[in-house]
Structure formats: structure tokens, C-alpha cells
Structure 1
Amino acid sequence: MDGGGDRFDVVVVGAGPAGAAAALAARRAGATVLLLDKASFPRDKPCGDGIAPHALDVARELGVTGLADGYVPVPALRLVGPGGRAVARRHARPAYTIPRMVFDHRLVEAALRAGAVLRRHAVHRVEDRGDHALVDGDIRAGAVVGADGAYSLVRRALGHEPNAPGHLALAIRGYAHAPGLAPEQRIVTTAAGWPAYAWAFPIGDGRANVGYGEVLRGQPLTRSHLLERLSALLPDVDTAGAAGLRAHHLPLSTRRPPPGRGRLLLAGDALSLINPFTGEGIFYAVLSGALAGAAATDPVAPAARYRAALRARLGRHLRHSRVAASLSSQRWIVDAAVRAADRDQRVFDALIELGLGDGRLTPHTLRSIATVAAFSLHDHAKTAR
């Protein structure tokens, strides 16, 4: 039976970007909110630290500003295809590199200022009792938002296993001293271990967030392998001296569980919302958290409301990103996309929107990539003759 503990309209498990955004959205709807996290803040979180402007847009809609204060916008992106061809162009809107130690803490602090309660607590059990949910036997909630990461307890309570190989990536990241690094985000893809890439994202203080990741295919990846590939793909960066090297799993959006059932909802990594093409997850986390937090205040059918909101806001984009992930399994298509983006700013902008925001595969982009691919095949055939 229910214990005699606390009662809240909404309980959020996990206080990262998805959880903090859920708390903010629920508070804006007038709900009482409890945020639970096993860590104390500020805390580090292994991540590329890339913050797309789309995430800041959602935060502003939640009444939060100043998340990027003190950090220099990164105006450009350099993408190297698996065949070695590169494109370097300016972002339509600059991105940021903000360590999660800072970004997550600022977002949690905003949730607390809005009236949410934060408690350090490792959750062990979540139950849907029909007219309410119960957390660890004595915290009663109108709904629970699971924002507790790739190995979410709330996800398991809904009967869904973590992502399997093929839909799960492993990456390692650290902070390297790189004062001479160009003011651009750099992504270097590689044919070895495809799909796989290394990144270097300047923070603006002489350091860069550097990392390497690849999709798991059923075989274990060792730390030494990840570090060797990181060093090989970023030869001009002192990756050997990088501090804070930590590995983490990335549950890709190509295999998502249902977003919720009854009074239990999933957001962010718990919902496998990691872009399969770029590994971006912060925008997805903040957006899905905001949608889940608002839906969790529905006294009758929070999961149904959340499913509808998520479908309306991200449904078409997620279908397009899944198609893009399928196409990008062929390295020659990625090389063609890089060449097309190098020729045409519109293609570059569309690919950025697809990889960092909620964009789609536009007809113009598809035609441009197909044209480049056709010319490449023609040239290859001529050379072969």
C-alpha cells in the first residue's frame, strides 16, 4: 500500500537537461514538482558539450535566459567525410560549447528558482497505480517523468530494455589544451569502424572538448581503441594530454520505446533521443523534457497528451533523421553529402538543421546529393576504363 510520504503533482527522475526542462514546464503549468537525482549539482556529465541554438530557444520559451553567458559562440563547422573531403562553412546561427558541469547546473538552478524541489536520491522503484504513481513506496505523484538516461529505471518499469547494438553508440570525451584551434566545431568521420567520428569543439578558454565514438555492433570496444582512434583523427590536438576522459553510451533515436504509458513518461536519453547522424542530444533532451513536463500535469491522460505533443513537434523530423541514418550507412553517400554541402550553403544549412535541430531532408538537399553522387560514379567509371 502507499506510504505516508510526500505528494507532488509531478516527480521527475533525473535532473539533467531533460529533467530540468520537465520541471520548468510543469512549474509553468502551476504543478508542484520534485526533482530527484542520484548526484549533487554541479556535476560532470560525459558529453560533447555542443549546445545548438535550438536548445537555447526552448529554454527561452520556458523563461530561462543566460545559459550561454560567458561562453563565446562558435560560428562555423568543419565536417570531414570518410573519404577525406571536407566542408567548412559558417552556421546560420552560431552554436556553443558549454561544459555540462556548467550548463546542467544553470538549468537546474533555473528550475529551483521557478519553484521545483531538488532532492539527492537514487530511485529504485517506480509504480503506476492507475490514479497516481508511486516512487520508492512513499513519494506519491500525479505523474512521473523518467529523464534518467540511457539505462533509465523508469524505462525498465515500463517494460522496455535499453537499446541493443546497432542502435547504441559508445564514445569517449575529454578536455584538451588547444589554444590554436580554429573557432569552429570540427567533426572528422572515418571509414574505419563506420559509422564513427571524432570531434573537437573549442570552448573559448584555450581548451576544447574532444572525443571519439562509434556505433556498437555486438563486439566490445576497449578504452585503448577509442583513445587510439581519437588521437589518429585529431593529430593536431594534444589528445594524449586530455583531462577528464570518460566514456558514455548514446542510445540512438533509430530505436525508441513508446514515450510513455499511463502516468509514466520518458524524455531525453531515456527515450533514446540521440540524433543518429551527429550524436546530438541536448536539444532533444530540453525539448522532450519540456513537452513531457507540460503533459505530466494532465490529471487524466498524461502519456496520451505527451505522445500527441511529441508527434506534432518532432514526428516528421525523427522520421527524416531515421532515413538519413539509413542513407549514411553508405559511406559514399556521406562523401556526396559533404561535397554537396561544400558547393551549396543551402545544403549545408539543411544538413545542420537535420543534425543539430529539428530539420528535414529537403528535396533540394536530396537532389544536390544525388547529382554529386551521379557525377562521382561517372568519374569513377571513366577512371576505371
Structure 2
Amino acid sequence: MNATPTDVVVVGAGAAGGAAAFHLAQRGVKVVLLDRAAFPRPKPCGGGMAASMQALFPFDLGPAVDAVIDQVRFTWCLGDPVTAVLPGDAPFWIVRRSVLDAYLVEQATAAGVDFQPGVAVQSLQRSGDHWQLQAIGPTGAALSLQARAVVIADGSGSQLAARHGLGPARPRFADTVSVEVECAVREPSTARFEFGLVRHGFCWSFPRQGGYSIGVGTFIGRDPADADAVLSQLLPSLGLSPDAGERRAGQLRIWDGHHPLHGQGENSGLVVVGDAASLCDPFLAEGLRPALISGCRAAEAIAAWLAGEPTALAGYTSRMRAEWGESMAWGKRIAQVFYRVPRVGYQLGIKRPTAPQRIAQILSGEMGYGDIAQRVIRRLLFQRS
């Protein structure tokens, strides 16, 4: 069977894959975008996104935004609240991934991308100066594609990234349970983070149109949270039934060290983006911002590489390390200390007069963990001793 040739195949049409496909097409690159699901499709995700991501796109992201957040409230066991007003103009947005991902695909398609939903990639192999992809189409028929470069954007469950030496060989995961509830919203511009109900983790509650996106996550240790017990307390605090909502268990592939995000040697022409690249924030579980940033930066690098710049893909790894990884290295250290002594962390970290505003600035993209980490870690370690 002859393979269909193209410049770039993007495997996965989530936020990172959609962003990469759009920006490649805008640069005149011939792109095929694949996803195993039919679109639009639901995807467990809190949906929090810094409004600063608008700067990455020439089109308005507003149609995909469900709610605008202007303050964040932190609690310990549903009490002892601290509220931070977010800086800037509309610094934090709530989106539904089914809407955002489909919207990015729509923009990519309008830019010339060939989007093929319902296609599951089975294998990815080098063949001369091209990559050969074997896949199964929506009708069960075998498909074959050929590309000069491939963007791996197949999410936290990626089987392709580590197989080709991209990202960590053994990814680290946070266990999550996501809940979508349709209901009236009490405070439509307030996002909530609850730190006392979950051992080694936290809960979040984000308002959106017609309800809430709620989640429970654990970030260190091997024991998953008892999500039902946590939700039986959290949901009534929002005026909801303890068993309300549709629940989905999942895993977040969180940042766990600096790793190559581009292929080298026989893997040249490959890059990995988004959750498949293990870019999710290990402290606050933010995944949308690194997904969008990495998709855009990867597209820039691949377009340059296809145009003859041999070091462009290595530049993508370096740029993501500088723009995201250096901050996440500090975020990981904060998480390792904070989630082992969360009560101390809440009192000495969250409840300090300047701390909520700092976290708000991190969520909005105005500040990185490196700006606060050394003081926070010293304070927590000193208290433990």
C-alpha cells in the first residue's frame, strides 16, 4: 500500500496538536492532523488557562472561553479561606476542552490543515529521509502516511514519545478524578483550590457556563486519593449533592526533569508537545499553558528545520527549557516539600500576606516558580526541622 506523503503529520488534536497544526499551516507547511477520537469529544480537564495565551494566536480565543476568573480562593478543609485578586485584565480563563480543542481544529482546518478524526496511529518508523506512519481509520481500514516530520501530541497516555527517546523514559503521573456538574454557579468569577481534604494533593473547583469543572488530584506518593470521600465533602460546600456529576478517573503526565523534546540521530524530525512531553505543572497541575506554548514553539522550529536550519529542533528543546522547564524545576521542589507537610505549607505558604498574590501571578503567567521557590522551600524545611 502506497503511503500518502505530506510535510508534517501531527498525532493528536488536543490543545498542543491543534496549536502546532495551525501555526505550521500558517507558515505554508502541508499538514495532516490525526486524532483517534471523533470531534468534538469530551476530555477531562479543569480548563484553567492564562489569558496571556491569546498573544500566541492571530485569531480571537474568546469563542472558546466559558468564564473569566478575577479571583482565586484557597481553603484548608473548606475553612480558613484566603482570597487573591488576579492581576491584570482578565488574566485567567476557564474553557471546556471539548470546545477549545474543536475550535483550534476549526482554525487549523481553515488555514489548510487536513484533519482526519477517528484515526489511531499504530506505528511510527523511519524510512530513509521520511517517517512512515501506519494507522487504523474510522472504518477499520489500514492507512499509511509519510511525512518529513512528525509532531507527537497524543496526550498523557502517549505510547510514541518514550519509544523514540523523547521526554522521560519513565513518566511520572498524578492521579486525578474529574467531575463535570451542570448547575447554577454561586460565584461565577471565582476559582477555588482546596488543600486540606486530599492527602498529597488538592481539589479544584472552576466555574464555567452552566456549572462547574471540579477535580481531585494527588501529586506525590503512590496511594490515590479516596475521591468519593473527598467529593462527599467538597460538593455540598458548593450547594451540590455529594454524588452529583459525571466522574472520570485519569492521570496527568507531570513535569519530572529536563529531557529532550526533539529527536536526534535516527529520530531526527520528531518533536513532542503538550501532555505527551510531560510538561504539566507538578504543583498546581496546569497543563493548558504549556500545551499551547509547546505547540506554537514546535511549529516555529519545524518550519525552520524544513527550510534548512539543522539546529532548529534542538532550539525547540532549549527554548521550552528556558520558557517552562526552569520554572517547573522549582515547582517540583516546592511540590515535594509542600505536599508532604501540607498543613505547614498552607500556614507558612498560602496564608502569608504576599503568597496568594504570587500564586495568582504564576497562574496568570506573570511570574515563575523560580521567583519565589528558594524562600518558600527554606521556610518549609526550617519549620519541619
**Shared fold (TM-score, shorter chain, > 0.5):** yes
What are the residue-to-residue correspondences of 1:121-132 with 2, within 5 Å?
121-129=119-127, 131-132=129-130
What are the residue-to-residue correspondences of 1:123-202 with 2, within 5 Å?
123-129=121-127, 131-136=129-134, 138-159=144-165, 167-182=172-187, 183-190=189-196, 192-194=198-200, 196-202=201-207
1:316 aligns with 2:311: no
Match of 2:138 in 1: none
Match of 1:307 in 2: 317
1:16 aligns with 2:14: yes
What are the residue-to-residue correspondences of 1:230-269 with 2, within 5 Å?
230-237=231-238, 238=240, 240-255=242-257, 257-261=259-263, 262-269=268-275
Contact 1:127 1:157 in 2 (8 A): no
- Tell me the distance in 1 between the aligned counterparts of 2:125 and 2:153: 16
Deviation (angstroms), 1:57 = 3.0
- Tell me the distance in 1 between the aligned counterparts of 2:29 and 2:7: 6
Q: Deviations over 1:133-168 (max 9, x none)?
A: 221183111110100011213214314697868x31
Q: Deviations over 1:297-328 (max 9, x none)?
A: 21345532321332343243233323322332
Deviation (angstroms), 1:362 = 5.8
Report the RMSD for the aligned CA atoms in angstroms: 3.0
Deviation (angstroms), 1:81 = 4.3
Give the counterpart letter for 2:255 in structure 1: S
Distance 1:358 1:310, change over 3 A: farther
2:85 to 72, 87, 90: 90
Match of 2:46 in 1: 48
Match of 1:288 in 2: 294
Runs of 4+ in 1 over 6 A off after TM superposition: 160-163, 368-374
Report the TM-score when normalising by structure 2.
0.83
Greater shift in the superposed pair: 119-128 or 363-372: 363-372
SS at match of 2:39: coil
- Tell me the distance in 2 between the aligned counterparts of 1:130 and 1:119: 25
- Tell me the distance in 2 between the aligned counterparts of 1:70 and 1:160: 32
1:208 aligns with 2:212: yes
Distance 1:30 1:358, change over 3 A: farther
- Tell me the distance in 1 between the aligned counterparts of 2:371 and 2:229: 39
Match of 1:117 in 2: 114
Unaligned stretches of 5+ residues in structure 1: none
1:25 aligns with 2:31: no
- Tell me the distance in 2 between the aligned counterparts of 1:31 and 1:368: 45
Greater shift in the superposed pair: 196-205 or 142-151: 196-205
Contact 2:49 2:288 in 1 (8 A): yes
Match of 1:336 in 2: 348
Match of 2:60 in 1: 65
Deviation (angstroms), 1:52 = 2.0
Distance 1:7 1:368, change over 3 A: closer
- Tell me the distance in 2 between the aligned counterparts of 1:242 and 1:216: 27
- Tell me the distance in 1 between the aligned counterparts of 2:301 and 2:182: 43
Give the counterpart letter for 1:226 in structure 2: A
Distance 1:140 1:371, change over 3 A: closer
Deviation (angstroms), 1:50 = 1.6
| Percent sequence identity over aligned pairs | 27
Distance 1:33 1:304, change over 3 A: same
Q: Deviations over 1:204-229 (max 9, x none)?
A: 43x1111212136334x48xx31221
- Tell me the distance in 1 between the aligned counterparts of 2:255 and 2:38: 28
- Tell me the distance in 2 between the aligned counterparts of 1:18 and 1:168: 19
SS at match of 1:133: strand
Give the counterpart letter for 2:126 in structure 1: D
1:74 to 69, 73, 76: 69
1:226 aligns with 2:244: no
Deviation (angstroms), 1:231 = 2.2
Distance 1:288 1:161, change over 3 A: closer
SS at match of 2:109: helix
SS at match of 1:187: strand
Distance 1:164 1:231, change over 3 A: farther
Distance 1:15 1:87, change over 3 A: same
Distance 1:41 1:21, change over 3 A: same
Unaligned stretches of 5+ residues in structure 2: 135-142
- Tell me the distance in 1 between the aligned counterparts of 2:347 and 2:170: 27
Distance 1:353 1:135, change over 3 A: farther
SS at match of 1:260: coil
Q: Deviations over 1:150-198 (max 9, x none)?
A: 1213214314697868x3111111222442522300010126521x111
SS at match of 1:235: helix
